[in-house]
Amino acid sequence: MSSLELTVSRVAVTAVALILVGICPPLAAQTCTVPGSHATIQEASDDPACATITLSAQTYPESIVIRRSLTLAGPGSGGAVVQGLVLMTGSGTQVTLQDFNVENGCVPDALRTSGGAKLTGDNLEVERSSTLPWPLTADAVFVNGFESGNTSAWSNTSP
């Protein structure tokens, strides 16, 4: 191939790439709402475009598996309640939970991290509402090493 043909070929590839970017721009990180842009928290969590998921003031009877970095935020003041397990999993996954309540409902724990996922919480209330028999104590909220490190900011209260 001559240098002229190689140059024309590179120009053609560049032109096609620019056209495709104009037709299909990359997804921008956005704030998604539940309910609203998504029917469930899990649906929004599975949408790679949702960098922040904002919850309306209501009860969400669902367990959630978060496999990527994101922020899950409620309206504050106990207005949103997730009834079920919130599991964060995957190496490099960093999740921020803020301004809502988690009630474990019928699962033995309310928050769980696995596979190297990290959790940051702000104004997050976690309640263990049932006393299911399992190997940990009746008041356990966090499992799988979640409670390692400096836990001075976390409290565990029971009725």
Q: What is the pLDDT of residue 7?
A: 53
Task: Classify residue 4: in a domain, yes or no.
Answer: no
- Which residue shows structure tokens 């399992």? 134
Tally the domains of the chain.
1
Task: Classify residue 154: in a domain, yes or no.
Answer: no
CA dihedral 129, 40, 57, 74 (to 10 degrees): 80
Mean local confidence (pLDDT), 9-32:
58
pTM here is 0.67
Range of the domain at 59: 28-143
Task: Classify residue 114: in a domain, yes or no.
Answer: yes
Task: Classify residue 131: in a domain, yes or no.
Answer: yes
Give the separation between CA 93 and CA 70, rounded to whole angstroms.
8
Q: What is the pLDDT of residue 19?
A: 52
- For the stretch 44-68, pLDDT in tens is 999 999 999 999 999 999 999 999 9
- Indicate whether 3 pLDDT > 60: no
- Indicate whether 74 pLDDT > 70: yes
Mean local confidence (pLDDT), 77-91:
89
Task: Classify residue 1: in a domain, yes or no.
Answer: no
